[in-house]
Amino acid sequence: MLTDPEELIDVFQDKVVVVTGSSRGIGQATAIEFARLGAKVVSVARGVPHHIFPGTLDETEQVIRGFGGEVTSVQADLMEEADIQRIHDETMAAYGRCDILVNNAAASFLGSFLDLSLKRLDIIWKVNVRASWQLSQLFLPQMLERGYGRIVNVSSGAGHVDYSGASWADVQAPASDGVRRMGVGQASLGAIAYGTSKSALDRFTQGLAGEVAGQGVAVNAIGVEARTPPNVHFITDDESPQGELPEAPAQIITWLAAQPPELTGRILSQHVLLEPLRAAGLVRPAARPGDNPDLPSGSSGMLPKR
């Protein structure tokens, strides 16, 4: 297992990395982090400015080019099959391969189960699950042919409930409140559809990892959390006490993508990895907004100098 921060630069030199949802938040920080480590980044997002949240595809490209990184931007809607095909085609035309695929883009809506329309459910499913499936199908053949590839699916703790204590005694004597509580944030409005999609993404991760095991391709998922623009807008500091900036999960994602292919089929958690990786110097100390002028507004961190 790679644990030396200096080795990351050697691992990613000239690697081609596709990152979806890289116009803001964790995806943007991940694209920047890979570029800082010497990778050639294909930055993917819709390219249309959000009516509430900051961050654009052009902004990510400007930051990467500003420190001499290499980036190709692809404007694509992950709800559209043709757009997803175009991500593959433009990546192959520019670089001839994809070494690492980071399925980061995600969609969610606030609202109760009864209020969530099937149209919005379809959007969540297409972006969070179907797009990851299709992109993996498109990029996997050339990974297998070369005997090298990494697929990192960005998941969430919202995809899991707390099954501990679900004993025979609980069945015989149900709790008086009728509902066993789930993890932090999982009972919030909109968590059913979003969490279901992330649970499906985790199952997809494990299934695909098993299918391609031993062929040089690793497939893993990592549940992440950060003070991204949407979280800052909707979630209070009390609900998100850890308060990590997007660079922390981005650094964990790059660490995971650098590991040998034997590390595969894992559903990992930022909360478990953060402390040991930070102690090893693989996740840099939390920064304050504005600490690094290379990073766009709403994102900050301490990135390595090439």
pLDDT in tens, the chain (306 residues): 776 777 787 899 989 999 999 998 899 999 999 999 999 999 999 876 654 555 689 999 999 999 999 999 999 999 999 999 999 999 999 999 999 999 999 988 877 888 889 999 999 999 999 999 999 999 999 999 999 999 999 997 665 655 455 556 656 666 555 444 444 444 455 578 888 999 999 999 999 999 999 999 999 999 887 655 555 444 555 544 456 778 889 999 999 999 999 999 999 988 888 889 988 888 877 655 554 544 554 444 434 443
- DSSP letter string, 179-246: S---STTTTSTTHHHHHHHHHHHHHHHHHHHHHHTTTTEEEEEEE-----HHHHHH--TTTSTT---T
pLDDT of 261: 96
pLDDT of 190: 59
pLDDT of 189: 57
Q: Using CA atoms, how far apart are residues 4 and 104, in angstroms rounded to an integer?
A: 25
Q: Nearest 5 degrees, angle CA 271-CA 31-CA 184?
A: 25
Q: Using CA atoms, how far apart are residues 76 and 176, in angstroms rounded to an integer?
A: 49
pTM above 0.95, yes or no: no
Q: Which of 279, 282, 222, 274 is closest to 253 using CA atoms?
A: 222
Domain ranges of the chain: 5-279
Secondary structure class of 146 (helix, strand, coil): helix
Are 265 and 220 spatial neighbours (Cβ–Cβ below 8 Å)?
yes
pLDDT of 6: 74
pLDDT of 191: 78
pLDDT of 180: 46
The tokens describing 199, both together, are: 């649970």
pLDDT of 110: 77
Half-sphere exposure of 91 (CA within 13 A, CB side): 28
Q: Note the CATH number of domain 5-279.
A: 3.40.50.720
pLDDT of 162: 53
Q: Using CA atoms, how far apart are residues 211 and 284, in angstroms rounded to an integer?
A: 35
